[in-house]
Structure 1
Amino acid sequence: MLARVTRKMLRHAKCFQRLAIFGSVRALHKDNRTATPQNFSNYESMKQDFKLGIPEYFNFAKDVLDQWTDKEKAGKKPSNPAFWWINRNGEEMRWSFEELGSLSRKFANILSEACSLQRGDRVILILPRVPEWWLANVACLRTGTVLIPGTTQLTQKDILYRLQSSKANCIITNDVLAPAVDAVASKCENLHSKLIVSENSREGWGNLKELMKHASDSHTCVKTKHNEIMAIFFTSGTSGYPKMTAHTHSSFGLGLSVNGRFWLDLTPSDVMWNTSDTGWAKSAWSSVFSPWIQGACVFTHHLPRFEPTSILQIVDVNGNVLPPGQEGDIGIQVLPNRPFGLFTHYVDNPSKTASTLRGNFYITGDRGYMDKDGYFWFVARADDVILSSGYRIGPFEVENALNEHPSVAESAVVSSPDPIRGEVVKAFVVLNPDYKSHDQEQLIKEIQEHVKKTTAPYKYPRKVEFIQELPKTISGKTKRNELRKKEWKTI
């Protein structure tokens, strides 16, 4: 989720009451429509004229951030800071692009000297929304080390898997997760450096706050080619173990210029607030690259937990584009020219990479269709589609119907083997507490009848099983593959 900071938002948030707004922050109109676009006036002419060159060498820190520093010094940029951070205790931090540059060069020297990291070495970063997360992002750019972000919700098992799979040489985290790292570090032969963001020292760890006090801010940014790997993101792991997706220096650093300029419509006078978890790629998109490409201010509010107050063509099995109304696989055209905002490959997994290509398209793994107006509609993950008696059934529609029944707290729908229909819809249901004592057979019938009335009758779950909780990934996504394997394991 993301939002643009407005004066109204700041007035309504108690934690912001003591803060002053600077620069030009565009608010929303009273009728909730956004303001007139600032970066283009006509979509068709913009689309025809737009061209993005890809140089042989590119580094976001040197070629974008340091350029904004130069404009800042020359008075050619509004007075907005580059970074504005607050927390619920009213603590506040603002950095200009010059200060961001100085601090990130100090961090870069720590990576190169104290941690002895070389260009291409891999750095796992697991921090909440603290300023050091942003400095680490830029420091890795400056040193040519490969950044691997992770959510703070990772468990000890998750951390071990990521350290071993990525062959990471360094990890940066805080007091909360340091014990989990220490518990598995001996099993990770490539890990030789650990940095902790803490007010306290910890044996075997370099204290980043102390190291920053003594580090030099003189550092020469490495000269990276545009197609060198810049970052690796682990997928959520909804269909098997999380896989590593690689992004180059240009895929985000240049590719997201479209997001920053045209989608988010940012200018150097704007403040951008993205509430995504720091472990997800969305945080890189809208908390780092998109706003800073445009010279906008990145705003973040650190809370312990969230508090609410490309071209797509649908294709068939042979890679042919389907007409409107026909369901198929959602694909992104990658030939003759691959969008460089798309990740390059699955790391150390060539067979998985090859399986995503069909004709001229990268197959996303999602099923959907395009309507007559050109809008795309998501149906389900391809693995989740149920084929029963020749009918294709997406689980989400059935789950939505199930969740409307008052007895259902959560549900997950998968295929289950059937001797007559091949497979049928099975629903795993977590009951609301008030219904756990009800007669289960009667409740199953009520739920099935409810689904028949809410959606097409053939989609109703012919099998229903009540369970205590659904298996989920770290990011909260239901592991349907786990439930599906349970159903089919005896076949």
Structure 2
Amino acid sequence: MTLQARPTDVVDDLLATYADVGADAAYLACDRHDPAATAFVLVDDDLVATPLTYGELAEESRRMAALLREHGVARGDRVPVLLGKRRELPVTLLALWRLGAVHVPLFTAFATGAIRTRVEGSSARVVVTEPDQRSKLDPLPGLDVLEVGPALEHELSTVEPVAERVAVGGDGTIMQLFTSGTTGSPKPVTVPLRALASFHVYLQLSLDVREDDVFWNAADPGWAYGLYYGLAGPLVAGRPNVLHTAGFTPAGTVAVVERLGVTNFAGAPTMYRAISKSGLVEHLPLRRASSAGEPLTPDVLAWARRVLGIEVRDHYGQTELGMVICNSWNDDVARPVKDGSMGVPMPGYAADVVDGQIAIDVPASPLFWFEGYHGDPEKTAERFSPDGRWYLTADTGSVDEDGYFQFTARDDDVILAAGYRIGPFDVESVLITHPSVVDVAVVGRPDPEGVRGEVVEAFVVLADGVQDGPELHAELTALVRDGYSRHAYPRRIHVLDALPKTPSGKVQRYLLRSL
């Protein structure tokens, strides 16, 4: 039984626009909009809000495109972008699209190890960054680094803005993201321009972002949800998003919502959980509240109904898919919410459960856009059924008689900590470099404080003669925090005589999680 939310005229119209052979990302995301309209609301650490208009975005991105072209960037080139939620981020994104180049997001909490994987994996020669992040790139040889700031602004003032745009068409690549790297090195996902149709549908029908909304997707644009639905989706839909430079805190988030009068908010369950436990909120003026990244827990749902006066609606997707199964908000597609369910397929998608996995029916899903992992046909083939009909998510789940889907587990053991997807392999690859460690496995286990969702825990086997102790644990923690990424270091470390493994040598992580 294939379950599908019947595509609406909205889906058909958007597909006709974004899948066209002459589709032009810069035009669709910027140049077709009213130059006086707001593209983003930039909010600094002092909560001062500054609008960035489409006219300003067009002018600044044309100059940035000219400078990138002077540095050799051309159609099809991958350009990693290591920027926080600042003005130059959407400017650089649009500049790359004007050249037909490909945006590669880098999470600003990454250390050099994670950055190296993505820079080398994209065969990049040019990287755009900011002063606070520059030192992470210094150990990488042969890179042409453009650092935003006064010197770059002077260069931009001297170049002639590009007048033309490069139309890559619906099948042309506009972004390349890397998965969390659970069972091997992070895999590069190429995003074609026609994926913008899916992002637009999600914004319009599932999030129900309206013209009079103050919309804030608070997710980090270094990952899929923030990039797809905090940058790309709002641009093509013409719905301004808030870009807040500061990192997440409950107090800061509540302050922005109240100061700007946010009416439509999207974020990770961790954000809602932290706000609910902060005691800072008695009421927030939200019309819509949505969540993605991990299942919502009952306590958050109950708190939202009591304090926000509305539901927080859960949505499901992947880097390879975008959002596909949702408790959608728009009146044209909304259905009653069932606790514990992530909803039904979004218009433009059909889904079912195949061999226990949530699966997307490719021929019946006109918005499906995943083309595979760049340069890795073997890994790509693993994600599809032999006949090519089903995209297999590797996430187990179920579907009830009314067509509502429920998430059970992630077969690939991705750790969901504070809204971030952490691949055990990445962390293990760092820990194993310590001379005292001869074997290691990393898993996620429930956060005892109930805030982060899961925490990273490491199980290590030590070399002969090495003594366990607090000093060693501190060294291993620092190795990951400083050498890979500060969001992925193990909160607890356990020493074992040997890791539990199958006869073929695979670590039995489920046994570690049960210890």
Fold equivalence (TM over 0.5): yes
Partners of 1:288 and 1:404 lie apart in 2 by 32
Which residue matches 2:220?
Answer: 277
> Per-residue displacement from partner, 1:444-487 (whole Å, max 9, x unpaired)?
xxxxxxxxxxxxxxxxxxxxxxxx979898484699xx999943
Partners of 2:411 and 2:134 lie apart in 1 by 38
Identity percentage of aligned residues: 25
| 1:130 corresponds to 2:130 | no
> Per-residue displacement from partner, 1:352-371 (whole Å, max 9, x unpaired)?
00110014111111111112
Superposed, 1:329-368 pairs within 5 Å as 329-335=357-363, 339-340=367-368, 342-358=369-385, 359=387, 360-368=389-397
Go from structure 1 to structure 2 and tell me whether the alpha carbon gap of 1:486 and 1:59 turns closer, same or farther (over 3 Å shift): farther
Letter matched to residue 56 of structure 1: V
| CA shift for structure 1 position 91 | 4.8
Which residue matches 1:315?
Answer: 353
Partners of 1:83 and 1:410 lie apart in 2 by 33
Q: What are the ranges of 5 or more consecutive residues in structure 2 without an aligned counterpart?
A: 255-323, 325-348, 415-443, 460-469, 471-475, 506-515
> Per-residue displacement from partner, 1:367-420 (whole Å, max 9, x unpaired)?
1111233221111122459xxxxxxxxxxxx955x9489xx9957699xxxxxx
Partners of 2:6 and 2:396 lie apart in 1 by 32
Which residue matches 1:393?
Answer: none
Assess if the C-alpha contact under 8 Å between 1:236 and 1:475 holds in 2.
Answer: no
Partners of 2:410 and 2:488 lie apart in 1 by 12
Which residue matches 1:488?
Answer: 501
Superposed, 1:77-92 pairs within 5 Å as 80-92=37-49
| Alignment counterpart, residue 47 of structure 1, candidates 8, 21, 37 | 8
| CA shift for structure 1 position 242 | 1.1
Letter matched to residue 177 of structure 1: Q
Partners of 2:65 and 2:215 lie apart in 1 by 25
Letter matched to residue 197 of structure 1: V
Partners of 2:59 and 2:378 lie apart in 1 by 43
| Alignment counterpart, residue 106 of structure 2, candidates 127, 150, 170 | 150
| 1:260 corresponds to 2:211 | no
| 1:198 corresponds to 2:182 | no
| Alignment counterpart, residue 372 of structure 1, candidates 390, 394, 401 | 401
Assess if the C-alpha contact under 8 Å between 2:37 and 2:54 holds in 1.
Answer: no
Letter matched to residue 159 of structure 2: A
Go from structure 1 to structure 2 and tell me whether the alpha carbon gap of 1:237 and 1:312 turns closer, same or farther (over 3 Å shift): farther
| CA shift for structure 1 position 237 | 1.9
| CA shift for structure 1 position 337 | 5.3
Go from structure 1 to structure 2 and tell me whether the alpha carbon gap of 1:44 and 1:196 turns closer, same or farther (over 3 Å shift): closer
| CA shift for structure 1 position 142 | 0.7
Which residue matches 1:451?
Answer: none
Partners of 1:44 and 1:371 lie apart in 2 by 15
Partners of 2:81 and 2:365 lie apart in 1 by 32
Which residue matches 2:54?
Answer: 97
Which residue matches 2:426?
Answer: none
Superposed, 1:175-254 pairs within 5 Å as 175-186=131-142, 191=143, 193-199=144-150, 207-252=151-196, 254=197
Partners of 1:46 and 1:346 lie apart in 2 by 27
Which residue matches 2:96?
Answer: 140
Assess if the C-alpha contact under 8 Å between 1:268 and 1:294 holds in 2.
Answer: no
Which residue matches 2:431?
Answer: none
Q: How many residues align?
A: 355
Structure exhibiting the larger radius of gyration computed from Cα positions: 1
Go from structure 1 to structure 2 and tell me whether the alpha carbon gap of 1:409 and 1:136 turns closer, same or farther (over 3 Å shift): closer
Q: Let me know the Cα RMSD of the aligned residues.
A: 4.1
Go from structure 1 to structure 2 and tell me whether the alpha carbon gap of 1:478 and 1:235 turns closer, same or farther (over 3 Å shift): farther
| Alignment counterpart, residue 60 of structure 1, candidates 18, 25, 28 | 25
Assess if the C-alpha contact under 8 Å between 1:232 and 1:247 holds in 2.
Answer: yes
Assess if the C-alpha contact under 8 Å between 1:233 and 1:245 holds in 2.
Answer: yes
Assess if the C-alpha contact under 8 Å between 2:86 and 2:245 holds in 1.
Answer: yes
Superposed, 1:458-469 pairs within 5 Å as none
Assess if the C-alpha contact under 8 Å between 2:109 and 2:487 holds in 1.
Answer: no
Go from structure 1 to structure 2 and tell me whether the alpha carbon gap of 1:244 and 1:338 turns closer, same or farther (over 3 Å shift): farther
Give secondary structure in 1 for the equivalent of 2:169. coil
Normalising by structure 1, report the TM-score: 0.63
Go from structure 1 to structure 2 and tell me whether the alpha carbon gap of 1:45 and 1:329 turns closer, same or farther (over 3 Å shift): closer
Assess if the C-alpha contact under 8 Å between 2:203 and 2:209 holds in 1.
Answer: yes
Assess if the C-alpha contact under 8 Å between 2:41 and 2:52 holds in 1.
Answer: yes
> Per-residue displacement from partner, 1:136-190 (whole Å, max 9, x unpaired)?
111111110111001011111222222211101210111222122121224xxxx
Assess if the C-alpha contact under 8 Å between 2:456 and 2:489 holds in 1.
Answer: no
Assess if the C-alpha contact under 8 Å between 1:109 and 1:219 holds in 2.
Answer: no
Assess if the C-alpha contact under 8 Å between 1:172 and 1:194 holds in 2.
Answer: yes
Letter matched to residue 359 of structure 2: G
> Per-residue displacement from partner, 1:325-350 (whole Å, max 9, x unpaired)?
xxx0111111265534x332101111
Q: Which region of structure 1 is more displaced relative to structure 2, 55-64 or 298-307?
A: 298-307
Assess if the C-alpha contact under 8 Å between 2:111 and 2:486 holds in 1.
Answer: no
Assess if the C-alpha contact under 8 Å between 1:84 and 1:297 holds in 2.
Answer: yes
| CA shift for structure 1 position 209 | 2.1
Which residue matches 2:76?
Answer: 120
Letter matched to residue 60 of structure 1: A
> Per-residue displacement from partner, 1:57-108 (whole Å, max 9, x unpaired)?
1122113421113xx5xxxxxx752222120135543222112111111111
Go from structure 1 to structure 2 and tell me whether the alpha carbon gap of 1:145 and 1:486 turns closer, same or farther (over 3 Å shift): farther
Normalising by structure 2, report the TM-score: 0.60
